Structure 1
Amino acid sequence: MRELYKLLHIEGNLSTAYYPQTDGQTEQVNQELEQYLRLYVNHRQLDWADWLALTEFAHNNHEHSVTKLSPFFVNSGQHPSDFTSIRMTSSNLLAEEFAKHVKGVHELAQANLTQANDDMKCFYDRHAGKLITYKTGQKVFLDGRNIKMIRPTKKMDNKWFGPFEVVEKVGASAYRLKIPKTWKHAHSVFNEILLKLAVQPSFESQK
């Protein structure tokens, strides 16, 4: 794949799991929609699936924080109806009631997506510290939040594993580690945000 990139003059940036900053657009969309749906699951447990189409519409009509344009506008050059110009009176009371309900749900979806985006940015800014560049041969600890072990209770499992030796840097922000061969279920490449430098104990009992 790397040789193919060279031939086609493609600058590759390999993605790693559990790190939304690598493939920002895809991962951010996934997390925003997941957070949005969690809001609906909490309050609309009986009918949340009915509004998935409106969820998609609200997201595609939502202004991107970087481009300042919605996906709808980028693809078609125009904005679709946002339900603000719909005639809200009718001789058919059922149709009128449903139209008002759809408009309300759409406004709620738009507000929730905006809140989800703000929450994601706030959370990342609060937890993103200064990243360290690791060198081949250095020992690092690996965050255990995404590592599945045979212990039945995750809360009582180790928070960090290692130390493991850094084999090489992969892409812009990931490292290949020399993990145990018994970890057949785990990939050996991890993002730098899941690593921390292993400090040698000052005396024997600190191990």
Structure 2
Amino acid sequence: MVNTQLNFSTAYHPQTNGQTEVVKRSLGNMLRGLVGEHVKSWDQKLSQAEFAHNHAVNRSIGFSPFQVVYFVTPRGPLDLLPVPDKTKIHGKATNFVHGLQEIHEDVQNNLEKATMRYKTVADQRRRHVEFEVDNFVWMVLTKDRFFVGDYHKLDAKKIGPVEVVEKINPNAYRLKLPSRIRTADVFNVKHLILYTGDSSDDYDLRANSLHLGENDAAEDVANLYMEKNRF
């Protein structure tokens, strides 16, 4: 009746279900305040935290989770006082569905407005960067780029300079990786930094070499870059 859909997320990939991660963080913060020094009693406070979370109005959608799912907000402790209340909690099924659809439409509009506000704030801190073929860049290796067992916290994360061999689009570039780098050769622009060949880059070149004894190969690439820009 209410066109409910079941959407699945990818296993072991929490980024695909960001709302669940937000709820977990909110519940964790709430439980931390409820248990105080009695940390082991968190399971006794879980129902209170869950009810409080579902009862509170969300800033982005403008409704509480109870309203979004059930159309009505359940009565809290103060609502159970012996005060005459002739209002009905539930009416006809058609009224329930109609009211729920109106709430979902308002939630969709409120989410779009909230997203635009967040985008405006984020764009103020975002810089536009594009590279061209034959440019040399530093590439930042994130943890997901390493094979199981290869990642180490003390390994170099900023590798380069490496050459851009293809501009797939303004956000993705294909690089000419050294043979020792075992990962996909396509990188997002946020993980790339332009190599300028100044003194600070030379310091990073020595500090970010993956293994001892491989500085010569990296320096050859840097020299090639300088030769290209000389003419």
TM-score by length of 1: 0.45
Higher-RCO chain (CA-CA 8 Å, sequence separation at least 6): 1
More helix per residue: 2
Larger Rg: 2
